Structure 1
């Protein structure tokens, strides 16, 4: 356990708000502390908006503390109103439980639940929230909070004018009760969350103080914003998921390698476990030669390897290099599917003529045979990276990559995939 752990968190920019900083710093630097972050199952996968909290739990575990990953099987059926403009859609119990299991599986890939010295704990708040009786909850928990106190929370104030249901209004009581239960069951002293969770976290601290007289702590991490003003965690309007079936490792790698220069070093501090001294050296190299993209390359390597493993990272680099050079012949079928996931494709039919001119038109790559012939003659058509200028060229089994793909390139960057 490092004596300067709390200071490192600050140096990495991971602490936005904190309760009783000096007391918390003393606890973290002198003894092993149990802490938790909640993950509500609002989809069948976590996305990179969850990545900072997950990696922060791992950071604490590496420094001798005991992380508790709380899956919100109960609160996930309600929905947190924090910084949401409208009511969440409610999901069925079966759906939430399926999603909860998926989230647990994803967390176990990053946080160590088998560590002999300080194994992480996974809990599901449906275990206690599902057993609550309304009268008991109102008497024992609700009595601790005034309406004035609950209305003062930013997450509630933002929704008063547009409307908030009692269901979402009461969410902060359920999250407060989670902290109380984890404190009672496991001795959990610290709750972490994004900056939008401050109100929910302080409610839990207040409940523990009132019910048990104990001091608990909370801190929030900064809400991540990108330098260009767009929302972090999305690319071309779509969420970047941790599930490789929803966002391939190649797409995941591409998200990080395309990080804005202004964000790259900050993200290295947030999302990697590289020592700060090493990050400073990368920053110096990056500043001296930004065109070499040293910061983005280090970021993409570290995060892709953390989430998907070394082989997935290597595969993403192979795909990227093949697309950059245009030489796609050495890619496997899986790599072609990843690298060309979002390019136009055509399912070749058994009756299709495989003369290059004909298939270019049939597949919609060219608008007419005249244009196809012109582009072939001018050297603008490539088959699996090789320029083809013969008008009588016939596609054959030798052209098929992995026995089922042919990659056509028109010009410098327009790719198409023929699938067999």
Structure 2
């Protein structure tokens, strides 16, 4: 598609906006400097932030100038949540998280070329701001009625806990970010999640009041599943982008397990696959859903985007090896441990534990008799090799990288033995 707005709308990446036709004209005819902010409220970004990074990448690929703002100042305050007050983290922790988020963001944007990205920290202009300057130069431009009407503020005011002045002041600081980036770098567009609409508009209004200029804001929708429920929780919690907080294997499996009803929408939102390829995958899903071609394309594309090609290949090799379609010993220990972390478990003592013990202790079989019948019928495996003797013990030769032993009942019921 030649029109960027049409492309973003087709992908489902635009929810709310200001003066779309003027923005469309600017994006098609000029180079727009835009920014998106990321607060260090945790040690990693998650899949919700990924939507913003993908939006930024689309805009940069179209020739526009991105500014990624990491909120070293706003991260110390906390954007008001709908439910309760945020926990305030100490300055050293927030500073560490700022650097970690910067490293993650850098992977998604190009910092060289004709329209290089820029990384900024709002602590640079917020920390020198005195209380008097905040109240006189910024505060006088905000009206209490407007601030109180913000969704999160209004809901918190009606709750038993209420809202502190600390969180209430957040919207002023974020609005000032847009003003500072407009002044320093000529930023005329802010993007963000739709839950940030009120804060984004606050920055736009502040620039209009102080500078007399018209700028734009645009939000992405909250990504939901086809049934309207929120999208994005794994067994262990959030879908973190940091491989130390969610392994690449678990990340890949999360996308691989997306429902048929959602997969095409997520291909549009979370990948850069062209329209023709996505439409072909949609056709394949309708005709042969069991093949899960769209899910495999989604998992591969998003994992490659976040963790890189080599890590994605390791994950795919591990997935295949678990079910006998590859060499388990060729999988590195870290990936193998992550790949088996959610499997039924049993303790292993080398040269003492038997396949019978593993099947029963892990719960794959409900008793010794059932386990014996499974082994006798050829349905038991150690490291994908069929076992025919019920007293077959686990030896040091069976121990895989990561100090684990894989065992299986039938074709798909897996368990993992860990050294005791």
Compute the TM-score of the two structures, normalised by the length of structure 1. 0.92
Deviates more, 1:47-56 or 1:312-321: 312-321
Partner of 2:136: 139
Instruction: Report the equivalent of 1:120.
Output: 117
Q: Which residue number corresponds to residue 155 of structure 1?
A: 152
CA contact (8 A) 1:70 1:123 kept: yes
User: Contact conserved, 1:227 with 1:262, CA < 8 A, in 2?
Assistant: yes
Query: 1:29-59 CA distances to partner (integer Å, 9 max, x unpaired)?
Result: 1111111111000111111111100111111
Counterpart position of 1:95: 93
Structure 2 counterpart of 1:65: 64
Decide which moves more: 359-368 or 133-142.
Answer: 359-368
Name the Cα RMSD after superposition: 2.3
Q: Does the 8 Å contact 1:272/1:302 carry over to 2?
A: yes
Give distance in 1, aligned partners of 2:275 and 2:369. 59
Partner of 2:342: 342
1:188 partnered with 2:170? no
Question: In structure 1, how many angstroms separate the alpha carbons of the residues matched to 2:152 and 2:404?
Answer: 51
CA contact (8 A) 1:76 1:96 kept: yes
CA distance in 1, matches of 2:323, 2:347: 25
- The alpha-carbon distance between structure 1 residues 283 and 315, as it changes in their structure 2 partners (threshold 3 A), is same
Q: 1:240 to 1:205 in 2, by over 3 A?
A: same
- How far residue 17 of structure 1 moved from its aligned partner, in angstroms, is 0.7
Q: CA deviation at 1:134?
A: 0.8
| Contact residue 191 and residue 201 of structure 1 kept, 8 A | yes
Q: How many Å separate the matches in 1 of 2:377 and 2:285?
A: 40
1:404 is displaced (CA, Å) by: 3.2
Q: Does the Cα contact within 8 Å between 1:3 and 1:30 map onto a contact in 2?
A: no
Task: State the secondary structure of the residue aligned to 1:14.
Answer: coil
Distance in 1 between residues matched to 2:347 and 2:91, nearest whole Å: 40
2:270 alignment counterpart:
271
For residues 327 and 152 of structure 1, the distance between their equivalents in structure 2, rounded to whole angstroms, comes to: 58
Whole-Å separation in 1 of the counterparts to 2:21 and 2:389: 76
Q: Residue 356 and residue 18 in structure 1: after superposition, are their counterparts in 2 closer, same or farther (change >3 A)?
A: closer
Post-superposition offset of 1:290:
2.2
Residue ranges of structure 2 left out of the alignment (5+ in a row): none
1:409 Cα deviation from its structure 2 partner: 2.1
Secondary structure in structure 1 of the residue aligned to 2:268: helix
Tell whether the 8 Å contact from 1:251 to 1:338 is kept in structure 2 after alignment. yes
Is the 2:73–2:126 contact (alpha carbons within 8 Å) kept by the matching residues of 1?
Answer: yes
Moved more, 135-144 or 380-389: 380-389
Question: Which residue number in structure 2 is paired with residue 321 of structure 1?
Answer: 320
User: In the aligned structure 1, how far is the partner of 2:338 from the partner of 2:270?
Assistant: 24
Structure 1 residues 165-174 or 86-95, which shifts more? Answer: 165-174
Could you tell me how far 1:19 is from its partner in structure 2?
A: 0.7
Q: Greater shift after overlay, 364-373 or 273-282?
A: 364-373
Q: How many residues align?
A: 416
Change in CA separation of 1:248 and 1:134 when aligned onto 2, cut-off 3 Å: same
| Alpha-carbon distance in structure 2 between the residues aligned to 1:357 and 1:266 | 46
CA offset at residue 329 of structure 1? 3.2
2:5 and 2:405 mapped to 1: Cα distance?
Answer: 54
CA distance in 2: counterparts of 1:384 and 1:157, whole angstroms: 58
SS in 2 for 1:172: helix
| 1:380 CA drift (Å) | 4.3
Cα contact 1:353–1:359 (8 A) shared by 2:
no
SS of the residue aligned with 1:17? Answer: coil
Per the TM alignment, residue 280 of structure 1 is displaced from its structure 2 partner at its CA by 1.9
Match of 1:215 in 2: 214
Cα separation, partners in 2 of 1:358 and 1:158, compared to 1, 3 Å: closer
Unaligned runs of 5+ in 1: none
Q: Is the 8 A contact 2:406 2:414 kept in 1?
A: no
- In the TM superposition, residue 387 of structure 1 has moved relative to its aligned partner by 2.5
Is 1:104 paired with 2:102?
yes
Partner of 1:41: 40
CA distance in 1, matches of 2:155, 2:76: 21
Partner of 1:246: 245
Structure 1 287/403 Cα, relative in aligned 2: closer, same or farther at 3 Å?
closer
Q: Is 1:384 the equivalent of 2:383?
A: yes
1:282 correspondence with 2:278: no
Matches of 2:300 and 2:357, distance apart in 1: 42
Which secondary structure state, in structure 1, belongs to the residue aligned with residue 328 of structure 2? Answer: coil
C-alpha displacement of 1:122 = 0.5
Deviation at 1:370, TM superposition (A): 6.0
